[in-house]
Amino acid sequence: MPAHDSAAATPTPLMMANAVRALSMDAVHAARSGHQGMPMGMADVATVLFTGVMKYDAADPQWPDRDRFVLSAGHGSMLLYSLLHLTGVPGIGMDEIRNFRQWGSKTPGHPEYGHTPGVETTTGPLGQGLATAVGMAMAERHLAARFGEDLVDHRTWVVAGDGCLMEGISHEAISLAARLKLDRLTVLFDDNNTTIDGEATIAEIGDQVARFKAAGWAVKRIDGHDFGQIRKALAWAKKQRMPSLIACRTRISKGAGRKEGDPHSHGYTLFDAEIAEAREAMAWTAAPFEIPEPIAAAWREAGAKGGGARRKWAKRLKRSHHRDDFERAVVQNKLPAGAFAGLDAHVAKMAETGPANATRVHSGAALEALVPAIAEMIGGSADLTGSNNTFVKGMTAFDAPDYDGRYVHYGVREHGMAAAMNGMALHGGVIPYSGTFLAFADYSRPAIRLGALMGVRVIHVMTHDSIGLGEDGPTHQPVEHLASLRAIPNLLVFRPADAVEAAECWRVALEAQFTPSIMALSRQKTPAARTVPSAENLCARGAYELAASTVGAARVSLFASGTEVAVAMAAREQLQAAGVGTRVVSTPCWEIFDLQDDLYQIETIGAAPVRIAVEAGVRQGWTRFIGEGGGFVGMTGFGASAPYERLYKEFRITAEHVTELAWAKLEA
Ligand SMILES: Cc1ncc(C[n+]2csc(CCOP(=O)(O)OP(=O)(O)O)c2C)c(N)n1
Helix (H, G, I), strand (E, B) or coil at 421: helix
Amino acid found at 98: R
Q: What pLDDT is attached to residue 3?
A: 43
For residue 395, what are the contacts with CB-CB under 8 A and spacing of at least 6?
Answer: 371, 379, 405, 406, 407
Query: 259 vs 29, 37, 42, 193, CA distance in Å?
Result: 14, 9, 15, 15
Residue range 625-640, pLDDT digits in tens: 999 999 999 999 999 9
Angle, to 10 degrees, between the axis of helix 414-427 and the axis of helix 441-454?
20
What residue ranges line ligand 1, CB within 6 angstroms? 35, 37-38, 73, 75-76, 124-126, 161-164, 167, 190, 192, 194-196, 200, 252, 266
* 135 Cα–ligand 1 center, Å: 22
Instruction: For residues 643-668, give the mean pLDDT.
Output: 98
The β-bridge partners of 158 are 70, 187
Q: What pLDDT is attached to residue 42?
A: 98
Does the structure show a pLDDT above 90 at 4? no
DSSP, residue by residue, 99-129: TTT-TT-S--SS--TTTSTT--S---STTHH
Q: What pLDDT is attached to residue 8?
A: 55
* Best probe residue, ligand 1, of 266, 415, 445 (max atoms within 8 Å of C-beta): 266
Residue with CA closest to ligand 1 atom 18:
195
User: From the alpha carbon of 38, which atom of ligand 1 is closest?
Assistant: 21
User: From the alpha carbon of 163, which atom of ligand 1 is closest?
Assistant: 15
Q: Are 96 and 106 in contact (CB under 8 A)?
A: yes
* 13 Cα–ligand 1 center, Å: 28
Instruction: For residues 340-346, give the mean pLDDT.
Output: 98
Instruction: For residues 130-157, give the mean pLDDT.
Output: 98
Residue with CA closest to ligand 1 atom 26:
125
Confidence class of residue 545 from pLDDT cuts 50, 70 and 90?
very high
Does the structure show a pLDDT above 50 at 561? yes
User: From the alpha carbon of 126, which atom of ligand 1 is closest?
Assistant: 26
* 196 Cα–ligand 1 center, Å: 7
* 439 Cα–ligand 1 center, Å: 28
Does the structure show a pLDDT above 80 at 9? no
* Best probe residue, ligand 1, of 112, 126, 201, 266 (max atoms within 8 Å of C-beta): 126
Q: Region of 354 please: left (phi>0), alpha (psi -120 to 50) or beta.
A: left
Helix (H, G, I), strand (E, B) or coil at 158: strand
Q: What pLDDT is attached to residue 1?
A: 44
Distance between CA atoms of 393 and 396, rounded to whole angstroms? 9
Q: What pLDDT is attached to residue 460?
A: 99
Q: Name the residues annotated as catalytic.
A: 414
Residue with CA closest to ligand 1 atom 25:
125
User: From the alpha carbon of 125, which atom of ligand 1 is closest?
Assistant: 26
Q: Are 130 and 166 in contact (CB under 8 A)?
A: no
Largest pairwise CA distance in the chain: 94
* 160 Cα–ligand 1 center, Å: 10
Residue range 444-500, pLDDT digits in tens: 999 999 999 999 999 999 999 999 999 999 999 999 999 999 999 999 999 999 999
248: phi then psi, degrees, rounded to nearest 5: -100, 105
Residue range 312-328, pLDDT digits in tens: 999 999 999 999 999 99
Residue with CA closest to ligand 1 atom 21:
38
Mean pLDDT of the chain: 97
Residue with CA closest to ligand 1 atom 9:
75
- Buried b / exposed e over 33-65, threshold 16 CB at 10 Å, is ebbbbbbbbbbbbbbbbbbebbbbbbebbebbb
Question: Which has the closest alpha carbon to 424: 120, 111, 73, 175?
Answer: 120
Q: What percent of the chain lies above the pLDDT cut of 70?
A: 99
Instruction: For residues 60-79, give the mean pLDDT.
Output: 98
Distance between CA atoms of 164 and 74, rounded to whole angstroms? 10
Within 218-292, residue ranges assigned H as helices are 227-239, 272-281
Burial (0-12, 13-18, 19+ Cβ within 10 Å), 468: buried
Q: Using alpha carbons only, what angle is made at residue 265 by residues 262 and 267, rounded to the nearest 5 degrees? A: 160
